[in-house]
């Protein structure tokens, strides 16, 4: 796995130490300035100062939804008598996404320092890392890192001589994509099926065990130490001001050099594919790109021209940055088969709670299978569009979300499937 960037233009932040042999150890992290930000806030003006600094940085969540981090923390009621919880969402499962795994493997202390900073800001004394069950190696690395942090008094009682205390528990999932959705995750942490909850109440008010809870993605937390260290102004200067910062992009599919690459938010997609990714595998022509995992609407080769990888630029092209899992498809990829593949993924991973999603995803697999096998009719195309409408509502992101299910999974099915059918009409029509 790679994790580099062009040093001439951008100095990596999140991956700056990952090339070092022992980058996962406390000693190496501290040698590079690690945990200085934690010590800075513990001696600083208090939790509100931290929240204000993060809010001023315009950091937006890296898990997929892109919600402003500082704002999320402000939703936590300060006067609640209940304990407050922070959960690091390490349930990375969006196809095409493997950036959090890199952080857990190579920079676990960066993530951990971010967790302690966030916990301090929201007055939390018990935090959880909800890690995907299949990530066993990463679990063991995190276990080592948490152990080191306790030994060095960076966790536990009186952290670094302050009066702040925090415990961190690593909690392994057991195989369910939907547990990456924050309320599904909360149910799972409570020892139940990972069935997403009706909102409101939002987790910040009533989350884990009905207590105020903040759920943050691994990469989001890994951004925090440098924001504290270098200030919100520095962070905001990287990429577009409304959603700035260093960003990890995952490249997979038909590229010569798949991997994780760090670049400023707003990097041109073509630069990622052709410079970082070394271009299309086998010198073939580019056909399509899913820019933000399989839950994003697909783009054609023409559709990525002049496209920058940031929240707003992608929304303007009716798709999403999502988890920045860029899946590249060359001219030899059959779009009907690709669409069937992702429909099957959604049918497999639908939690089964909402009827439109549970039934609709299975319908989509059946119809797309017919198309792929050449047994379909023209009206099946309309049926696909009808089913996606029924699951996810309008696919026009500029009009806001119109999902018809409890959680965003419904839209995550509808948008990509519909986009394949609409943008590759000829290929779909050629099957009947």
Partner 1 sequence: MNEKGANDQTFRFRNPSQVENILSQYPDRRSALLPLLHMATAEAGYITQPIINAVARIVEAHPSEIMETVSFYSMLHTAPKGEFILQICQTLPCSIRGADNLVDHLCERLSIQPGETTKDGKFTVMKVECLGACDIAPLVQVNNDHHEKMTVEKLDKLLKSLS
Residue numbers at the binding site for partner 1 (CB under 8 A): 1-2, 83, 92-98, 101, 126, 132-137, 167, 169, 171-177, 188-194, 209, 250-254, 258-260, 290, 294, 325, 327, 329, 333, 337-338, 341-342, 344-345, 348-349, 351
| Least CB distance to partner 1 at residue 335 (A) | 11
Question: What gap in Å lies between CA 61 and CA 170, rounded to an integer?
Answer: 21
- Closest approach, Cβ 31 to partner 1, in A, equals 28
Q: How far is the CB of 258 from partner 1 (least distance, A)?
A: 4
Taking the complex as a whole, the smallest distance from the CB of residue 337 to partner 1 amounts, in Å, to 8
Alpha-carbon distance values, 108 to 17, 115, 121, 173, 340 (Å): 11, 11, 20, 18, 36
Q: Which residues are CB-neighbours of 222 under 8 A, at least 6 positions away?
A: 14, 103, 107, 110, 111, 114
Q: Are strands 126-131 and 167-172 parallel, antiparallel or unpaired?
A: parallel
- Residue 316's H or E segment, with its range, is helix 311-316
Minimum CB distance to partner 1 smaller for 43 or for 193: 193
**What are the residues facing 297 on neighbouring strands?**
none
In angstroms, what is the minimal distance from the CB of 285 to partner 1?
Answer: 15
CB of 129 to partner 1, least distance (A): 12
* 54 or 329: CB nearest partner 1: 329
Cβ distance to partner 1 smaller for residue 5 or 188: 188
- Min dist CB 101 to partner 1, Å, is 6
Residue from 15, 7, 9, 1 nearest 262 by CA: 15
Distance of CA 220 to the CA centre of its chain: 9
* Among candidate residues 298, 335, 331, 336, the one with its CA nearest the CA of residue 317: 298
**What separation in angstroms does the CA of 160 have from each of 37, 38, 43, 116, 225?**
12, 9, 10, 12, 16
Nearest CB to partner 1, comparing residues 59 and 342 = 342
Which candidate, 235, 194, 191, places its Cα nearest to that of 209? 191
Would you say 26 or 129 has its CB closer to partner 1? 129
CA 215 to chain centre: 12
Q: Which CB, 204 or 290, lies closer to partner 1?
A: 290
If the CB atoms of residues 131 and 307 are measured against partner 1, the closer one turns out to be 131
């Amino acid at each position: 796995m790679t994790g580099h960037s062009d040093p001439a233009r951008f100095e990596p932040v999140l991956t700056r130490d990952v090339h070092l042999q022992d980058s996962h150890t406390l000693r190496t992290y501290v040698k590079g300035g690690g945990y200085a930000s934690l010590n800075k806030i513990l001696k600083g003006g208090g939790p509100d100062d931290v929240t204000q600094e993060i809010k001023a940085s315009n950091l937006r969540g890296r898990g997929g939804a892109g919600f402003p981090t500082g704002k999320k923390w402000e939703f936590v009621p300060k006067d609640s008598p209940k304990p407050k919880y922070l959960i690091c969402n390490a349930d990375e499962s969006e196809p095409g996404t493997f950036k959090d795994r890199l952080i857990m493997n190579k920079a676990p202390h960066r993530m951990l320092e971010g967790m302690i900073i966030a916990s301090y800001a929201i007055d939390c004394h018990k935090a959880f890392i909800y890690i995907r069950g299949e990530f066993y190696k990463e679990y063991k690395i995190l276990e080592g890192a948490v152990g080191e942090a306790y030994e060095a008094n960076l966790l536990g009682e009186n952290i670094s001589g302050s009066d702040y205390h925090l415990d961190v528990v690593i909690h392994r999932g057991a195989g369910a994509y939907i547990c990456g959705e924050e309320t599904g995750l909360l149910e799972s942490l409570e020892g139940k099926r990972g069935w997403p909850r009706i909102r409101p109440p939002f987790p910040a008010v009533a989350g884990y065990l009905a207590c105020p809870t903040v759920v943050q993605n691994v990469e989001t937390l890994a951004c925090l130490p440098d924001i504290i260290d270098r200030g919100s102004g520095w962070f905001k200067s990287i990429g577009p001001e409304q959603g700035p910062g260093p960003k990890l992009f995952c490249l997979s599919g038909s590229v010569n050099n798949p991997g994780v690459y760090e670049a400023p938010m707003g990097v041109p997609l073509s630069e990622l594919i052709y410079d970082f990714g070394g271009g299309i595998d086998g010198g073939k022509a580019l056909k399509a790109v899913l820019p933000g995992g399989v839950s994003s609407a697909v783009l054609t080769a023409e559709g990525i021209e002049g496209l920058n990888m940031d929240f707003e630029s992608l929304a303007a092209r009716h798709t999403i940055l999502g988890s920045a899992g860029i899946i590249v498809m060359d001219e030899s990829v059959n779009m009907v088969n690709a669409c069937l593949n992702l429909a099957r993924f959604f049918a497999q991973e639908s939690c089964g709670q909402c009827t439109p999603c549970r039934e609709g995803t299975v319908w989509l697999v059946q119809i797309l299978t017919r198309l792929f096998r050449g047994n379909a009719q023209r009206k099946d195309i309309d049926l696909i569009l009808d089913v996606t409408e029924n699951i996810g509502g309008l696919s026009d992101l500029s009009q806001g979300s119109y999902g018809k299910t409890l959680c965003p999974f419904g839209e995550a099915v509808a948008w990509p499937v519909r986009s394949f059918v609409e943008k590759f009409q000829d290929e779909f029509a050629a099957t009947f």
